[in-house]
Chains A and B, each alone.
Chain A
Amino acid sequence: EHLQKEHVSILPGGHVQYTFPEAFFYKPNLWWPNGMGKQSLYNVEISVEVKGFGESDSWSHPFGFRKIESHIDSATGGRLFKVNDQPIFIRGGNWILSDGLLRLSDERYKTDIKFHADMNFNMIRCWGGGLAERPEFYHYCDIYGLLVWQEFWITGDVDGRGDPVSNPDGPLDHDLFMFCARDTVKLLRNHPSLALWVGGNEQVPPDDINTALKNDLKLHPYFQKINETENLTKELS
């Protein structure tokens, strides 16, 4: 049941979005953060064959089955996380980037991130004044079980604070900011280590950006419905 073939026709110059029928897994090996279990990864491969040509393109990605939930605790004001329905005590480190000259090699990422895992951390927070980290960074967080808290590029440089006072309304080009945000989400969204997107460093982005980010990153209505069904099932049981 984990091998599917579907037929699609695409018009000349056409651009389509296609959703496969959902694939069912019974008791798959789950992906767990460092210290809670194995970081089980499956390989998902998508390929397209075109009649009269043969294989036209292929794509593959390591994928981990994990469910991450978080909410702000009203008693402490802290954010509480659950992974695969289990509460997790977060032991995190702050991260800007691996090298100020952006010599970001695979080896360097592997070493840096393994070091965090060896320190018994289970989360890395990518600060909003640094980078949206690269796929290689996320790959090793997938491998070593580091959850990632990824912030967008909003800091005290763009909220009217500081001396001299910074621009109070974020970056000048809000459309460009959102373009970059959307593209970054598409680049990173399949990594199981990706736990949380945050608007910026210790603050809320300008209203229009914040609204757009929240709207773009909210749960798709289909999954909202699934969540409601699941909650209903829980109540019934």
Chain B
Amino acid sequence: MAVEMGKTVLDKGWLAARSTEVDLTGVQLTTTHPPAISPAGSPWMEAHVPGTVLATLLKNKLIPDPFYGLENESIIDIADSGREYYTFWFFTSFQCKPMSNQHVNLNFRAINYSGEVYLNGHRRVLPKGMFRRHSLDITDILHPDGQNLLAVIIYPPDHPGRIPPEGGQGGDHEIGKDVATQYVEGWDWIAPIRDRNTGIWDEVSVSVTGPVKIVDPHLVSSFFDGCRRVYLHATTELVNNSASVAECDLNIQVTTELEGNVCLV
């Protein structure tokens, strides 16, 4: 019996820990030594994924809420703490056991700023850039019993910058050297964000497909006669992950909901 096709969002059960407080390697975390919150003194805590490192620290009441009063002043800035302080491990596990002709991808819709993924002891790199998707083919490194251990270390932006004592528009502007959001050094409307929004800040998912995968369809419409005559132009990329020629039937269907569950095709 094949596992169900489609996307499963991984937004529950994540743990996190400051990298400087974890002695284990990514390989160990995802093979022999998976982390746990207990016993007391463990550096691991419940993580806010998707969200930033500060969101996780706030969730665990390890910082005050930076958006209340002047509480942000009591949170150490990355310029003073160093990038290591806001470099965090994230960990979760998921169930996935595909059939031999199925393919599985691990998808990060955005991280900030770079990272490394460890899945069942195998390392993959997440290159720099806050506004890019990462999709890793993990078919061959899934665990045969279906229970998979995933650890991700996320590094902050390369140029987090320093906030001048007088504050100011964009701090010292160093963050602009990276391809990342720039308000995080503070602006005329917000105080600096201490971790510069480091983290797994958008959706993480696992997607299961057959031999052929649909990638980034593009829909465009063109209009004639005062928008009375309209054409829909649809283009898609297709990737054949198998080792044989794929004979495909490609379908497109456009429906509109008339009322309740009644659809017009």
Q: Do A and B come from one complex?
A: yes
Does B227 lie within 8 Å of A102, measured CB to CB? no
A66 to B171, CA, bound (A): 41
Partner of B217, one of A5, A6, A166, A190: A190
- The reply to whether B227 and A10 form a contact with Cβ atoms under 8 Å apart is no
Q: In the bound complex, how far is the Cα of B240 from the Cα of A43, in angstroms? A: 26
Contact check, B235 vs A20: say whether CB atoms are below 8 A apart: yes
Q: Are A187 and B133 in contact (CB under 8 A)?
A: yes
Query: How far apart are the CA atoms of A25 and B225 in the complex, in Å?
Result: 12
Tell me how many residues of A have a C-beta within 8 Å of chain B.
Answer: 99
B212/A4 in contact, CB under 8 A: no
Most buried by A among B66, B128, B221: B221
Q: Tell me, yes or no, whether B248 is within 8 Å of chain A by CB.
A: yes
Residue of A nearest to B171 (CB): A157
How far is the CB of B102 from the nearest CB of chain A, in Å?
Answer: 9
* CB-based nearest A residue for B190: A100
A3 in the interface (beta carbon within 8 A): yes
Q: Which residue of B lies closest to A63 (CB)?
A: B219
B255 touches A (CB below 8 Å)? yes
Q: Which residue of B lies closest to A94 (CB)?
A: B189
Contact between chains at B212 and A50 (CB < 8 Å): yes
Q: Which of A169-194 contact B (CB under 8 A)?
A: 170-173, 176-177, 179-181, 183-184, 186-187, 189-190
Residues of A within 8 A of B234 (CB): 19-20, 23, 44, 46
The A-contacting residues of B in range 184-227, CB under 8 angstroms, are 185, 187, 189-190, 193, 197, 199, 201-202, 209-214, 216-227
- With contacts A8-B238, A50-B211, A57-B209 taken as known, whether A186 is within 8 angstroms of B243 at the C-beta atoms is no
Residues of B within 8 A of A (CB): 5-6, 48, 50-52, 54-55, 58, 66-67, 101, 109, 128-133, 168-170, 172-173, 175-183, 185, 187, 189-190, 193, 197, 199, 201-202, 209-214, 216-257, 263, 265
What are 22 contact pairs spanning A and B, CB under 8 A?
A2-B255, A3-B252, A3-B253, A13-B242, A13-B243, A17-B235, A44-B219, A47-B253, A48-B248, A51-B247, A55-B210, A56-B5, A57-B214, A58-B5, A59-B214, A84-B223, A104-B201, A129-B183, A166-B176, A171-B178, A176-B128, A187-B133
